[in-house]
Amino acid sequence: MVYFKKILRYAIPYKSFGYLNIFFNVLYAIFSGLSFLVLMPLFKVIFKKESQIKGVQLPEPKYENFSSLADYLQDSFNYYIATLVEEDKSSALLFVIVLIVSIFLLKNLFNYLAMYFITFLRNGILKDLRNDLFQKTVDLPLSYFSEKRKGDVMARIGTDVLEIQHSFLAMLELLFREPLTILFTVLFMLFLSVDLTIFIFIFIPFAGYFISLIGKSLKRKSDRVQKEQGNFLSLLEETLGGLKIIKAFNAEEKFNNKFSDSTQKHESYLNKLINRTNLASPTSEFLGIAVFGVLLWYGGNLVLIEKTLDGEAFIAFLGLAYNVLTPAKAISKASYSIKK
């Protein structure tokens, strides 16, 4: 967090883009949850028998107070759908489909706008950071370059800054977008079934613990890769700078061997780093599906045996549960990027 705060200072001139990103991420998170919730009336229109809807004579809902607002909105929506089905089932189906398409359109629009504004913030930080690094390099005394290799400095301004760019973007997603998506999705899940929501969140921490074990050594492995990259860039700079002397003493083979040793180490470190990073995705996906399987068992019991949950509500809940697992997986990937 100390390093992150240092980088965060570079975001101050671009804070307006950050605020816009957060605003559209909030809207994206809300509509991401709604996109699954609006599937319920579609299932109701398609799968419910006409006798279960038609002629039910639902009472017209009345608003009482703010605490019952959620129930009022749900009852109003159900009342409207039931009325449409009584009049014309095809019109009801068309209305629900248009509603679903509109929700998904807004969700993806807000997603694009959030990423649009974060681009200016990210690239602005990258530019200012490179400018400051170059100015610092020029201001350093000559004695610094007698102790430090030029390749290290080149690697910092070149590849290391790109790593900061990617990790900074990952941190912003980690702090705002994905947690907001999880928060609003969980609220919608509680709205559908408190029991199912509590049940699924008993198992999620166990999955998160196993995923976190994979990332513990990433920082150390990535550090080795970055250092070795600076090493062979320094060898390259030294070789090009002293090529006449190398040829005069017939030392080409010696420098070839030194460079080959360095790139061999870099390859070995990079393979270990990439393989450890690649392990994260299938592990998190498998654990997510395992949690999903337990949810199917428990929710299926509520629908088929205890009959305390409607089938369409359970299907919508499964969609919301998947909507939690997806950003949770993204958060795990972001944490690996930050360590890297």
Q: Write down the pLDDT at residue 116.
A: 92
The predicted model scores a pTM of 0.66
Closest to 339 (Cα-Cα) out of 175, 155, 214:
214
Cα angle: 108, vertex 110, 115; to 5 degrees: 95
The token pair at 291 is 């949690």
Average pLDDT by consecutive 10-residue portion of the chain (340 residues)? 78 91 90 80 60 51 62 66 68 78 91 90 88 87 74 77 72 76 86 82 71 63 76 80 84 87 85 76 74 82 82 82 75 66
Q: Write down the pLDDT at residue 226.
A: 74
Q: Tell the residue number behind the tokens 């807004």, with chain if given.
A: 106
Residue 148, classed as helix, strand or coil, is coil
- What DSSP character marks residue 61? P
76 CB-near residues (< 8 Å, 6+ apart): 61
Q: How many Å apart are CA 218 and CA 277, to the nearest integer?
A: 8
Q: Are 314 and 200 spatial neighbours (Cβ–Cβ below 8 Å)?
A: no
Q: Write down the pLDDT at residue 258.
A: 87
The DSSP line for 13-59 is: GGHHHHHHHHHHHHHHHHHHHHHHHTHHHHHHHHHS-HHHHTT--PP
Distances (CA, A) of 302 to 39, 257, 294, 297: 19, 68, 13, 9
Please name each of the domains of the chain with its CATH number.
Answer: 2-339 (1.20.1560.10)
Q: Are 37 and 188 spatial neighbours (Cβ–Cβ below 8 Å)?
A: yes
Cα angle: 187, vertex 188, 189; to 5 degrees: 90
| 121-154 burial code (b ≥16 CB/10 A, e <16) | bbeebbebbbeebeeeeeeeeeeeeeeebbbbbb
- What DSSP character marks residue 309? S
What Rg value do the Cα atoms of the chain yield, rounded? 28
Q: How many Å apart are CA 327 and CA 254, to the nearest integer?
A: 51
Cβ burial of 67 (10 Å; 0-12, 13-18, 19+) is exposed
